[in-house]
Amino acid sequence: MSVKIRLSRVGRKKKPAYRIVVADSRSPRDGKVIENIGRYGPQEEPSLIEIDEDKARDWLAKGAQPTQTVSKLLAVKGISK
């Protein structure tokens, strides 16, 4: 099972908000998740980025692969492998 750290869309039409989740790579974007580790609000000024750093580091240590977008968000927060 390949585990990814990715975004799951929530919010309404034209007002996106995202959860940063850990999920099986085969599950759909808004499908079953293993764990929620944060949230991202691109519409706010400045953009809202909340990540539970301990959980993120733990999942990265376990081998979870972040998507390209989540990698950028983790870099903003200073979290790396």
> Domain range holding 15?
3-77
pLDDT at position 81: 67
At 16-45, the pLDDT tens digits run 999 999 999 999 888 899 999 999 999 989
For the domain that residue 22 is a member of, what is the CATH number?
A: 3.30.1320.10
Tokens describing residue 46: 């400045």
Q: Beta-carbon neighbour count of residue 21 at 10 Å?
A: 23
Mean predicted lDDT score pLDDT of the chain: 93
- What is the C-alpha to C-alpha distance for residues 46 and 43, in angstroms, rounded to an integer? 8
Whose tokens are 């799951």? That residue is 8
DSSP secondary structure code for residue 29 in this structure: T
Percent of the chain whose pLDDT exceeds 90: 85
Based on the structure, what is the number of domains in the chain?
Answer: 1
